[in-house]
Amino acid sequence: MNVTKIKKILIPILLISMLSACAGKPQKAQTSEFPTFKYTHFASGGTQEEYTAVILFEQANSTFTEYQVAFSSCTCRDPSANYYSVCYVELLNNKPTAEEFAIRAITFGQNRGLYGDSNPNHYISEYTEEYMDANFVQSLVYDTKADIDAWGGYGTQVAGVNADAVSGATVSTSNITSMLQGLFKYHAEHYYK
């Protein structure tokens, strides 16, 4: 038998076997594979509702745990423009109590996160992602669970954040802080039992 005849016989057999191997029932996405936690979502004016954040990535070592968390922050835009924020956070594991662990690093950029809020802010044009990172997000580094838990809620800022610098971004800053409260609670339950 020559090579051409073998190819004519084998190629259809290979194609049929490959196609039949893929022809099973489609598998439903298993969302339960991703851990979740609840947080309070704030809309303009302080209207609140319980939302669910999804932990896309969690990797622990002896010093800290890395998290990549997807959560909804800004919902004031048209649904075609709204999308989830993805926050990359490192939380310490090596403190004596849950109240003492702190943020080691946090970002919505650097190919680890996604700033899903208005960029720039609808009301204050200088409130870009970069401005919010410099004046709010990076101010959260070294904040402990106790600091985040002491937050006064919608319209207030965590201690150490210059409230005047971010006063026009109440929804964004409140939802980020609220998500962090939920993440801190999750971290305490899993690493400080």
Residue 126: per-residue pLDDT: 84
Strand partners, 70: 54, 86
- Residue 10: which pLDDT band, with cuts at 50, 70 and 90? very low
Q: How far is CA 94 from CA 11, 23, 179, in A?
A: 59, 49, 22
Question: Does 181 have pLDDT greater than 70?
Answer: yes
Question: Mean per-residue pLDDT for 27-51?
Answer: 79
* pTM for this entry: 0.79
SS3 152: coil
Under 8 Å between Cβ of 104 and 92: yes
- Residue 5: which pLDDT band, with cuts at 50, 70 and 90? low
Residue 22: per-residue pLDDT: 39
Structure tokens at 170: 């109440």
Residue 107: per-residue pLDDT: 96
Question: Mean per-residue pLDDT for 63-69?
Answer: 97
Please name which of 82, 56, 67 lies closest in space to residue 172, comparing C-alpha atoms.
Answer: 82
